[in-house]
Amino acid sequence: MNDSELMTALKESFTGVQSPTPVERIVSRGRAVRARRRAPALAAALAVAAGTAAAVTALLPSGHQPGLQLAAWTVSRQADGTVTVTIRQLHDPAGLQRRLRADGIPASVTFFGQPPRACQRFPVDPAMVNKVYQSKRAGRFPVMVIHPAALPAGAGVQINPQHQRHITAVAIGLVHTSPQCTG
């Protein structure tokens, strides 16, 4: 007996067997079961992809992360060109300074009473400072809205929080731009 004769004999043995369930329903049920089995694998793959995206985002330089929310401080560029800075704690003033510079703001950030020797105050009146800075509060934390377009030529911002922890007040001013002071 060859293969084709065997197949014919096998088909003939099932000729009288009938199923009460239509073939379409059986196929549909099989597809549904396979889809349910694939869903956890798909969810796991999406979770891995999301985790990878978060890890890659965390590794990018901070100057390229718009609206980055950190425990210590937040810097976000607004659509109107202003930059909002909220300082909650400041263990690394150089990190905030780098972030502001990456957002195009010549900045010097130091603790109150520790101005860098390379920085010289920019001679302006309080009205000029008020055009560059607007102060708000986010709960108990100070929020500064910086208007870079209002900076006079040759001027940069100087931000001096009073303490490293639990920032409640920030001294602000303008300084002459220089590579040693504002980058």
Torsion of CA 78, 125, 155, 143, to 10 degrees: -30
Cβ atoms within 10 A of the Cβ of 139, count? 7
Chain segment 27-69, per-residue pLDDT in tens: 888 888 887 777 776 666 666 666 665 555 544 444 444 554 5
Contact 45, 53 (CB under 8 A): no
pTM of the entire structure?
Answer: 0.57
| Window from 2-16, 33-47, 75-89, 141-155 with minimum mean pLDDT | 33-47
Can you give the residue ranges of every domain in the chain?
A: 3-59, 63-176
**Torsions phi, psi of 64, nearest 5?**
-110, 20
Q: For 117-157, how does the pLDDT look when each residue is reduced to its tens digit (9 = 90+)? A: 788 888 877 888 888 988 887 777 778 899 999 999 999 98
What confidence score (pLDDT) does residue 105 get?
92
Mean pLDDT, the chain, whole residue set:
78
DSSP state of 142: E
Residue 148 is predicted with a pLDDT of 93
Closest by Cα among 167, 134, 170, 135 to 150: 134
